[in-house]
Amino acid sequence: MPKLDSYLFREFAQTTFAALVVLMVVSLGGVFADVLKDIVGGKVPAGIMLTQLGLQLLNYLPLILPLGLMLGLLMGVGRLYRDSEAPVLASVGVGPRRLLRPLLMLVVPFVLVVGACSLWLGPWARAYSQRMIEAGQRTLLVSGLEAGRFVELPGGNGVVYANSMSSDGTYLGRVFIYSQDEGRMDITSARTGTLALDGNTRYLKLDEGFRVEGPMDGGKDFRLMRYASNEVRLPDADSSDPGSDPELMSTPALLADGGREAQAQLHFRLAPPLLALAFALLAVPLARSPPRQARWGRIMLGLLAYVFGVNLMLLGTNALASGKLPVALGLWWLVLPLLALALWMYFGDGRVKRTRLSRLGGGSR
């Protein structure tokens, strides 16, 4: 590998890696907030929080990686212009076309990784995450119940306490539940408790206990009941069939399915690697600037272009699924013009027209 290609590839790779680290940290915070919200709502078991965090992050990689690649190239190429290295390279005949080789050494593997994440890794992570949640929703652990401590009910309308719990979270011993609703409180105790499922609805079945119900404002309208069996409803379980939900289907299954939603999801998975290639090529002409000019404005311009392109991709996917756009059109109306614009801007950057060059030559004679 020539020393120039090695140097440029190292510069592009370092800035791209730095941009990806920052984006991953920011994305991790947002994903953690979403997972924590599901745990508090009783939809995700607290014990699989870290696993869900990793799977959700894998799901967002097809959107994070192209942005990191573009920002990294904008900063790397922009540094060449800021430190006057690009003008020196241009003076010895190293123009945008000569930069294509070290650029593709980084971009091609990156596009392949984005394609693998979009077509295989992301769908697998979504389906595996859903299977883990459905398995966890068959135990009482999904509501955050833990033996020996008071746990707030979803919605903050009460607490539940269990003296003991089986290892699989399906059996409770010595249960105490306090809840309130519309100015009345409800106190329930039981000797044992088990989880019962009715479709996606979960119930905590209590046996051999007492229930006291009355006003919270100090009135005397209290009722005391002794029961042999009682049921308390838990948050509904989310259940998705991987065979019917396009987001959970594998890419080969989408290819075999001719439905609108399946085809829209297929185009949604094909678009990220092509967008990554287009934005990577756009980064080189966008990063071109005079030596002392601030480069943050061009980085902001590239970021806005990426956000605009991704929003068009999401809107186009929804339009395909709803029938507002023909399936044959897909997302090619977005990807192909963007690729053409990127190629035109890249190969036209820094070129001098032949007619102007001939005029200058004629004038010198």
Q: What is the pLDDT of residues 130-167, one digit of tens each?
A: 888 777 666 555 455 667 878 776 555 678 888 888 77
Domain final residue, candidates 234, 269, 294: 234
Residue reference for tokens 């030559």:
361
Domain final residue, candidates 234, 257, 292: 234
Query: How far is residue 270's CA from residue 254's CA, in Å, rounded to a whole number?
Result: 12
The strand pair at 151-152 and 158-165 is best described as antiparallel
Same domain, 183 and 165: yes
Same domain, 36 and 160: no
**pLDDT per residue over 166-221, tens digit each?**
776 678 888 888 888 777 888 888 998 887 766 666 677 888 889 888 888 777 77
Residue reference for tokens 């430190």:
83
Same domain, 159 and 60: no
Name the band, by pLDDT with cuts 50, 70 and 90, for residue 229. confident
Same domain, 132 and 147: no
Instruction: Say how far residue 39 (Cα) sits from the centre of its chain.
Output: 18
Query: How far is residue 33's CA from residue 54's CA, in Å, rounded to a whole number?
Result: 13
pLDDT at residue 217 in the model: 78
Same domain, 210 and 125: no
Q: Is the pTM of this model over 0.85?
A: no
pLDDT at residue 115 in the model: 93
Average pLDDT over residues 68-78: 90
**pLDDT per residue over 91-125, tens digit each?**
777 766 777 888 899 999 999 999 999 999 989 99
Same domain, 62 and 106: yes
- 266 has a pLDDT exceeding 70: yes
- 360 has a pLDDT exceeding 60: no
Same domain, 249 and 301: yes
Same domain, 278 and 216: no
Token representation of residue 103 = 């650029």
Domain final residue, candidates 186, 208, 234: 234
Diameter over CA atoms, the chain? 112
Same domain, 250 and 283: yes
How many domains are there within the chain?
A: 2
Q: What is the mean pLDDT of the chain?
A: 81
Residue reference for tokens 């979403």:
34
Same domain, 251 and 330: yes
Which residues span the domain enclosing 198?
143-234
Query: How far is residue 105's CA from residue 170's CA, in Å, rounded to a whole number?
Result: 54
Same domain, 8 and 90: yes
Burial class of residue 258 in the structure, from the number of CB atoms within 10 Å of its CB (0-12 exposed, 13-18 middle, 19+ buried): exposed
Same domain, 40 and 121: yes
Q: Do residues 266 and 255 lie in contact, with contact meaning Cβ atoms separated by under 8 Å?
A: yes
